[in-house]
Amino acid sequence: MAARMPARVFIGVGSNLANPVMQVRQALHTLVWLPFTRLQAQSSLYRTPPMGPAWQPDFVNAVAELRTQLTPRVLLAALQRIEARQGRSRKRLRWGPRALDLDILLWGARRLKLPGLTVPHPGIAKRAFVLCPLAELAPELHVPGYGSIEQMLAGVDSGTLVRIR
């Protein structure tokens, strides 16, 4: 269940349904209670247009930095339980509206390819709503296989992001 040394893990948090600001804040608060895990930092919240169908409401996004002794599979299962408790349905349209989305973005300097989990997150280099909050927390970060946060930020349009907290 628990790994030996705590890993530095970054979690993407997003919502565009059922009071998205409240959903994101509640999820960040809930991360504090994960076993063998400590919430190190959390970014500001950002409002962004939806990725996917344009008819859906804007998203609110943030990133949390954790130190965890959990294994990747155990952490993923815990995050999916939090999503379910906050009303996430996995039967909805891909990239469609959701009450909560929790994604493991980075797991230290490791690359992982497990059933249902790829780390670094496959879309990390293309998503300003992930890169801006990541840069806020860890501007020095190097993403395995992608390069520095600074390099990736230079390749995305962050003009549609609005910091809301």
Q: In the chain, what are the domain boundaries?
A: 2-163
CA quadruple 117, 107, 132, 80: dihedral sign: positive
| Residue 98 is a catalytic residue | yes
CA quadruple 144, 146, 148, 149: dihedral sign: negative
CATH code that applies to domain 2-163: 3.30.70.560
Q: What letters, b where the CB count within 10 A reaches 16 and e where it falls short, cover 139-165?
A: eebebeeeeebeebbeebeeeebeeee
| Residue 88 is a catalytic residue | yes
Report the distance separating Cα 27 and Cα 36, nearest Å: 17
Which one is catalytic: 38, 101, 127, 163?
101
Which one is catalytic: 47, 73, 90, 98?
98
For residue 15, the tally of other CB atoms under 10 A from its CB is 30
pLDDT in tens, 59-68: 999 999 999 9
| Residue 81 is a catalytic residue | no
pTM, entire model: 0.94
pLDDT in tens, 27-71: 999 999 999 999 999 999 999 999 878 889 999 999 999 999 999
